[in-house]
Copies of this chain bind each other. A is one copy, B any other.
Amino acid sequence: MGITKSDKFTNQQNDLANLFKALGHPARIAIIQTLLKRQACVCGDIVEDLPLSQSTISQHLAELKKVGLIKGTITGPSVCYCINASAWAKAKTEMDKIMSVLIKTPSVC
């Protein structure tokens, strides 16, 4: 059918998947890197940096904002975006939780 059966999985599984999914596009990785590079992080700056149209960038920003990894503050006519450090810390904790076990798992086959 093509619809992801979120209801069949736990909240923990869905949340973690949504977090990974938000980072599962090169443009969104690039946006994060741009936000790191520039301290002043106006939307227009990102559009200048990336080879995508303004509307597409806006969509990607919305997805990152949806999972809370970035936040945007309206400053006059423009919007200042930046990393939401506390959300990243929380995300890292969740990822580390599963990752630290995984790297220690012996390969049985």
Contact = CB atoms under 8 A, between A and B. Distances in A.
Contact of A17 (B28, B98, B103, B106): B28
A36 B101 contact: yes
Interface string A7-37: 0111001101110111111111110110110
Count class of interface residues, chain A: 35 or more
Interface of A: 4-6, 8-10, 13-14, 16-18, 20-30, 32-33, 35-36, 39-41, 50-52, 71-73, 75, 80-85, 88-89, 91-92, 95, 98-99, 101-109
A80 B107 CA distance: 11
Contact of A109 (B9, B36, B41): B41
Contacts of A35: 105
A28 to B, nearest CB: 7
Contact of A21 (B20, B51, B82): B20
26 contacts: A8-B51, A9-B30, A13-B26, A14-B26, A17-B28, A17-B29, A20-B24, A20-B29, A21-B25, A22-B24, A23-B24, A36-B102, A36-B105, A40-B108, A71-B109, A73-B109, A80-B108, A82-B107, A82-B108, A85-B102, A85-B103, A88-B105, A89-B103, A91-B99, A92-B103, A95-B99
